[in-house]
Amino acid sequence: MSAARTVYHMRVTEIIDHTPGIRELVLKTETPGEFSFRAGQFVMLNVPQGEAKPILRAYSIASDDRNKNGFRLLFKYVENGIASTFVWALKGGELINFTGPFGKVFFQEPPTPQVVFLNTGSGISQHLCYLLSKKEQYPDIRYRMLFGVRSEKDMYYQKEIESLAQGLKDFKFEFVLSRPETAWTGKKGYVQHFLSEFDYKNIPTTFYLCGNGGMIKEVKHQLLEVDGLDKKSVWSEAFD
């Protein structure tokens, strides 16, 4: 049966509110009893609509693809959004439905000496999936990640990323804040402003972009049209 037709019934085992606008669901398979996917793929949440057909919304999986018993998803709150209204009303323990997996933005193997992740909002989910799934197989790669959010109150996953980086030989991660408080001493602006720091013209590099469509468009323009990188060096998934 195709991924579009198989409906997976998943139990909400944990709800984590990282910020007022970012919610994480930890889901466990019920029926069928196993869910297989590849790092980088997404699922379609079937939002119930009473007697009508459910409305479908796509979310990238944020967990290790070696786990067949469930997965984690990150949700960004959209005011009056159909999926947001449904997800933020959950209390835990509910059985919710998904179809999938879908998507072909996979981690490219063998990897280049440098891998750069640029993400915004909940776009970090796909990149977490790559790292969790591949870090033991490729611990010596030079990994770089920039995570774009609006302000300090929107920052999340610091501890999880620091823990994930353990065992990796060369991993560096920074937040980029577009509207920081005056005391902020880290990177300011947008992730696309810092491309030159990666020395990708001299180091074979693969870029993975996930999040805001505007960011993705700007980065692709610089890398592909201005700098002339091969299109196979840049992989993207827009979250708008």
What is the reported pLDDT for 167?
A: 86
Please say if the pLDDT value at position 2 is more than 70: no
What is the reported pLDDT for 58?
A: 96
Q: How far apart are CA 139 and CA 78, in angstroms?
A: 36
Please say if the pLDDT value at position 157 is more than 60: yes
Going by C-alpha positions, the residue among 99, 68, 88, 116 that lies closest to residue 19 is 88
Going by C-alpha positions, the residue among 230, 189, 238 that lies closest to residue 214 is 238
What is the reported pLDDT for 109?
A: 97
Q: Report the amino acid identity of residue 133.
A: S
**88-139: pLDDT as tens digits:** 999 999 999 999 999 999 999 999 999 999 999 999 999 999 999 999 999 9
Q: Domains of the chain, with CATH numbers?
A: 7-102 (2.40.30.10), 114-238 (3.40.50.80)
Average pLDDT over residues 15-44: 97
**62-102: pLDDT as tens digits:** 999 999 999 999 999 999 999 999 999 999 999 999 999 99
Split at pLDDT 50, 70, 90, the class of 3 is low
Phi, psi angle pair for 191, to nearest 5°:
-60, -30
User: Inter-axis angle of helices 158-165 and 124-134, to 10 degrees?
Assistant: 20
What is the reported pLDDT for 186?
A: 96
Split at pLDDT 50, 70, 90, the class of 239 is confident
Please say if the pLDDT value at position 4 is more than 90: no
Name the pTM for this structure: 0.95
